[in-house]
Chain A
Amino acid sequence: MTLLAALFSHYRRHPLQLLALATMIVLATMLWSGVHHLTSQARASLDQSESAVAERQQVERKDGERVTVADFVELRRQGLCVMPWLEVSSPEGGRVVGVDPLAAGCFESPDSEETPWRGELEGRPFVDISEAADLAREQTGQLSLLMSDAHSARDLPSAYRLAPFRVGPDTGELGDSFLLNLDALGVLVLLITALLVRSVYLLGMAQRRDSFALLHRFGVSRARINRLLVFEIMLLALVCILPGIWLGRWLANGLGTGFGRALEGLFDQPLYAGQDGGWLMPLATMLAVVLVACLADFLRPLARRLPGDGQRYGVLLALILMGGIAMSVWVSTLIWLFVAVAVVFVAAGTLAPMLISRLADWRAGSDKDPLSRWRHRELSVLARRLALPLVALQFAMAMVLAVQALVTTFESTFDRWLAQRLEADFYIEVPQSVDLTPAMDWLSEQPELAASGLWHRVVRGRATLPGESNEAGTKVDVFALGPIGPLVTGWQLFESTARPWQSLQQGHGVMVNEQLARRQGVTTGQSLTVELGSQELELPVLGIYPDYGRPAGEILLNVSVLPPDFIPSFQSLSISPGDLTIETVTRRLKEIWRVEELTVRDNRAIEDLASAIFDQTFLLTRAMTTLTLILAAIALLMMGWVFFSTRAWYFRLLVVWGLSRRQASGQLIRLSVSLTSAIALLALPMGIWLTWVLVHRINPLAFGWSLPMAIYPGFWFELGVLSLLIGLSIALLMSRQLRSPASVPGNANALAGGER
């Protein structure tokens, strides 16, 4: 027991170290486990949806109407094996799917017992369709008719056609990528934490080397000491990780609604509460991270890695760095991109302190002034000794820079895009099944509207891009406008032919959104075949327009191009009434359409709502990066302070040698500020490169749309100020130490910071 007390007494003497270790472990656990909890929840939702139903084909009506039980009866009486699938949103959230097991009997083939569904959906078994139909009376239900693979499109009567049936969102791997992105951020946080924890721990170990030597003299074997150290770190880790996980849950719940809404808005995938995930996995992971970080030296012999050793290390690292950057330019999958980022980080992280100390040495070599020479040599030593927290700070700064840039770019792009989309002042929902012609005639006749107002009609629906002869085609959203006026001609297009809006107005073409262009490899000038209603049209692509926030493909065309049997799912009018007031317009429209109520929305309100939703989306990433930066800053602060304290004796020498205390403080300030500024300077190119990777490589792969690359010198300034502050704080803390006498460090061991 006394042995343990002796070991732990170190923390009694240096309670701040214990506090720092504990805080870092708790914070890191909170961050990482919170993010992990959210992403695993979302993954489970996506996976469940995907696996619950083997990919099947469904029958749809060619005229666009929804299928009903009458269609089911008709198809069954023709001898086709179809079964109903009734999806109803459940009152507790989530959804309920009703199926007919009797109808599904024909899906079984003699060789396989495979039913169209497997197991459960979202933790709930499928229900009999009569139950779902009961629910559908209050909520909305959606009926689909699944058809057995034994039949093909040829067996269908002429009024029907085949389409693929998937339960999950139709987003390809985009949902997965989004989550992978978040997970990668989490891993980065883990990495930074590991570095920080390691640095603090190593410092502690260095300080305790004397006590270990003492204990050894008293007869305690090294093995026993090592075992106790392992026990000590495990105890500390367990005590800190558990509250960290609990805090992480709290964080996840707090951010969960925003995250869920983002997921739903981006990918049409609601977040199901589902399983709780458990705490064993995060506990085990964090424990492993902490143990490896602290005790890595046990795993390999304690080789002294002074980074200044050997020029070849430097060159090798530089080559690896170049390789990583090249990889990030050329690879095309998300996983390899993350690998490239990891490679670059590792190389840059190892290079940075090396670079600083070499440069400082070189400057010292050519220095005339003894003080500045001392300063530069001291800087070199510091860079080597404080390598780990410095690198951690560099990583954190680069990450913050990149994520800030991403978020700001996105915000401004999105704001601009939204403003374009919502250019009209008001949006009027057209009631189902009214004839729009008299309304449009009236609108066209109003002189005030023609003079000072703008309006157009919007028709939304679905179309198909036919696939190969036997494949089902791709579903796309249809966004039809008419007339094409100044409300849209101001849009910014990524690519376009000459005078695209005129061609669109004449009905000689179609525009596609960025997601569709990327996924189908469509370019302007190409000809696109589209199935609208019962007609198949071939139209040239006039341009590609941005469409943020959802990965579905969409085509934009003139309303006049739509065939008469096209069934729209939705129609609306966008109008800026100008001199005519909105009340006049709505009153007249109510008269024309003979309705009591009209849904009229103020587009400004919609803009605010949309912005709020996207803010929520990035709240999570912002929170993570800010917290990580704070973590790194505090760690460096603490480390620097502790380290400076061990060298207090040398700094006292300055005073002894004739500098006034104020001058000595000044030297210290210059020293620490130059250190932190140096690392900030090195973080800068890394941050810019990471911004580029995020915006131009990761974002398109994860979301389907890209963002313009932009540089924000404002952020650099912020980071510079931050590094300045850190440096100043360290120096100030040190200066206070100058007053108290310090003893000569007895042990000249390099690890104790005893370089002279």
Chain B
Amino acid sequence: MSLPFGLYIHIPFCVSKCRYCDFLSFPADRAARKAYLSRLIREMRVRSSGLGSRKVRTVFIGGGTPSILGDEQISRLMEAVFSCFDVEEGAEISMECNPGTGEALSFRNLRSAGINRLSLGLQSMDDEQLRLLGRIHTKRQFLESYEKAREGGFDNINIDIMSGLPGQSLASWMRTLDEVCALKPEHISAYSLIVEEGTPFYSIYGEGAGRPSWPPLPDEDTERDMYHEAEDFLKGQGYTHYEISNFARSGYECRHNLAYWLRGDYLGLGLGAASLIDHVRSANTRDLDIYMKHSFEADAFLRSPLCAEYTKLSEKDRMEETMFLGLRCSLGVGCGQFEETFGKDIYSVYGPVIDRYEKLGLLEEKGGRIRLTRAGIDVSNVVMADFLLD
């Protein structure tokens, strides 16, 4: 295959771990970060050689907090990207940045290094909520970073916000939305808090925990109201709701993330990073020791301890993924495209499930595309689970 692919680069470092976070990230000193970067570039050299002449369409530097590296290191990383890969003209090149690490950054240098899209982690415009989450920044620090990013030449910025936070009311959530929209970002990711096992929040809000001294989480109904109100409000502000948690001004949808839902190929570099290349899903080791010490060999990478997961997708796997990933997008799954890909009518595979959920008003078919209704999104896990085949 010679299709272009996405490139994901994982930076597993942060200043300090937020209480809700279950991503692969941890604090580390400057030397450790530098050593990691060298390893990362080594991996890039080795793995890029296996992809022949395929072009890179999008790049996403995520974490963790990639901005913790500073603009010099990021320039070094980007130079390596450009030297290892054939990056398409006009490629979307995103980087995550957390306020509180952004002050020392030169956004102008990031721009010159090639980064053209910035994703800022705000979460909330309420300082008390930020404190409870364990964020290292205030609303003011965020606003400063945002302004500096604009001044530095970023004309494509995403802001991450979260609903369902401790002590958050519908009104306070709407204030956050209002204030975010006033900044006119090109893209808004509105997530809801998920209390994951193994996080400090789990011992506060998890099953059977119950710490009465902490402000309660909004109940299910309020949380859903937050979601629906947000959708209405953002649509009114000119944003398109293009994926369950993502909103964008027309033309500013995140192409890198869309490719995940539409099952485009992507190569993940760095600790724990996941890849999909030629129908193989793989994931790098999550063990920093192994990652730092084991030698990279181009042809043996997927068979070495550096690769922690390796699944060759069957046709069944691919059909399932097409459904449960595609349904996340507002566009839904195209029936024609399904048939083109698999040589099977979508109804011959999923007819009864589609029928059942259409009757319950959770799925709809419009213009040859199947998608979740608004009510369907609320309970999408239940619907998607039924698209797994026996």
Judge: A and B partners, yes or no.
no
- Which B residues have a C-beta under 8 Å from some C-beta of A? none
